[in-house]
Structure 1
Amino acid sequence: MVSTVLLDVVNFVGLAAFALSGALMAVRRQFDVIGMAVLATITTFGGGVIRDVLIGDTPPEALRNVWWLVVPLAATAVAFFFHPQITRLRRAVVVFDAIGLGVFAVNGSAKAMQWGLSPLAAVMLGVVTGIGGGILRDVLGGETPAVLRRDSQLYAIPAILGCTITVTLLALDVHLLAATLPAAAFITGVRLLAVWRRWTGPVPRALHG
């Protein structure tokens, strides 16, 4: 019971963080309230919907949980009225976004394993779950996705490593909670370190300088 409640709380924090990041981008791009709601919803559920469609779990999980659908709408309302105050809390939003990345990525890998996919496919779907919504957000917002830019701090790499940890532990029959929570914490920690230390991914030598 405690473990279920803990997972629900952590998952809600991830949903709220992704929703806020989408709504705040819409504010920055001067979208109206409908555009804000669209970006918030796409950011929150994009990766999970892609995962569920690919594995055949339809309708997607996000559409079967009414309370999940309330999260991006609530985030839109909060950002609409209080975006100057939220923007000042940029560090907090980055922390929540890192938590969301960790939670969604490992949950995506765990679900893929439960559906009988290979470990490699499970890692790939976990990464898609973690970063898919952000990619769709950036594309709809008219920006190059952050995960593709050479100047952005590590995002996909922590997700790949964390999903690999999750898949490995699950293959060894480790309990779901023990396999996912440490991996989610690892992804979150590495992402925050990358932001703090300004770590970026490797680029071809010709691009240096």
Structure 2
Amino acid sequence: MTFPAAIAAPVLPPFVDLAGTAVFALSGALMAARLNQTFVTCAFFALVTGVGGGSVRDLLLGQPAFWLRDFWIAPVILVTATIAWWLPSKWWSGRWLEWADAIGLAAFAALGTAKALAFDVAPLAAVILGVVTGCVGGIIRDVIAGVPSILMRPELYVTAAALAAALCAGLLLIGVAQPLAMAIAALAGFALRGAAMIWRIELPAYSREA
């Protein structure tokens, strides 16, 4: 089954695409700084967080990982890691990591969904790939760091990515222009994630007894 052919592959202005990658990479680099790790770890965390989700998405789509053929992504990640390494501790001891991660989460969830739809992926599967794009890099980072993954905590994280992905898919399928659809979806996902961090909004945990 195919879906609207009018859904083209997302093409972002180079600055926007690189800025999104840099923001996600920053969250990984700040995690390494928070854990008092070496610069090598800082750079590796930046790479994994910056391109991890998108690489898994492209693997599932049967495409080359998006960053392998882009001249600028790897240098931008390395520069981001270097900047994070030299930042004063106050930048990573507060909530900068969480806010940087929230921006990347929402933006990449929308982007991943749009790219999946461009490859004729079914809408629900496209939403799932959008969530993968937004979340997997951070999950890999947390697992390597040995800290509890955000996936295992009740706060709204994957839910925010799912909102951005689902809204992006819905808007694109009804014919909303791609840049506008992605912007609205990313803002909605970021707003939900931000609200969850500010007001500690959480999902209820399983509590049924046999």
- Partner Cα separation in structure 1 for residue 204 and residue 158 of structure 2: 12
2:153 corresponds to 1:149: yes
Greater per-residue helix proportion: 1
Q: Deviations over 1:139-183 (max 9, x none)?
A: 111122112223xx3111011122111111111122111211100
Structure 2 residue matching 1:205: 3-state secondary structure: coil
Structure 2 residue matching 1:63: 3-state secondary structure: coil
Structure 1 residue matching 2:58: 3-state secondary structure: helix
Alignment-derived partner of residue 199 in structure 2: 197
2:130 corresponds to 1:126: yes
2:58 corresponds to 1:52: yes
Following superposition, the deviation at residue 206 of structure 1 comes to 4.8
Check whether the contact 1:10–1:103 (CA below 8 A) recurs between aligned residues: no
Alignment-derived partner of residue 158 in structure 1: 160
Aligned with 1:68 (options 57, 73, 83): 73
Aligned with 2:41 (options 35, 39, 58): 35
Structure 1 gaps of 5+ residues are none
Following superposition, the deviation at residue 96 of structure 1 comes to 2.9
Check whether the contact 1:17–1:93 (CA below 8 A) recurs between aligned residues: no
The amino acid that maps onto 1:68 is I
Pair 1:202–1:10, CA change in 2 (3 A): farther
- Partner Cα separation in structure 2 for residue 112 and residue 173 of structure 1: 16
Per mean C-alpha deviation after superposition, the further-off stretch among 8-17 and 175-184 is: 8-17
- Partner Cα separation in structure 2 for residue 30 and residue 206 of structure 1: 40
Alignment-derived partner of residue 81 in structure 1: 86
Per mean C-alpha deviation after superposition, the further-off stretch among 115-124 and 171-180 is: 171-180
Alignment-derived partner of residue 109 in structure 1: 113
The amino acid that maps onto 1:136 is I
- Partner Cα separation in structure 1 for residue 124 and residue 204 of structure 2: 22
Aligned pair count reads 200
Q: CA RMSD in A?
A: 2.1
Aligned with 2:169 (options 160, 167, 170): 167
Following superposition, the deviation at residue 78 of structure 1 comes to 1.3
Following superposition, the deviation at residue 25 of structure 1 comes to 1.5
Structure 1 residue matching 2:166: 3-state secondary structure: helix
If the length of structure 2 is used for normalisation, what is the TM-score? 0.87
Structure 2 gaps of 5+ residues are 1-9
2:187 corresponds to 1:185: yes
Following superposition, the deviation at residue 42 of structure 1 comes to 0.2
Share of identical aligned residues, percent? 38
Q: Deviations over 1:84-139 (max 9, x none)?
A: 14225x34443332221111000000000000100011000000000010000001
Aligned with 1:136 (options 127, 137, 140): 140
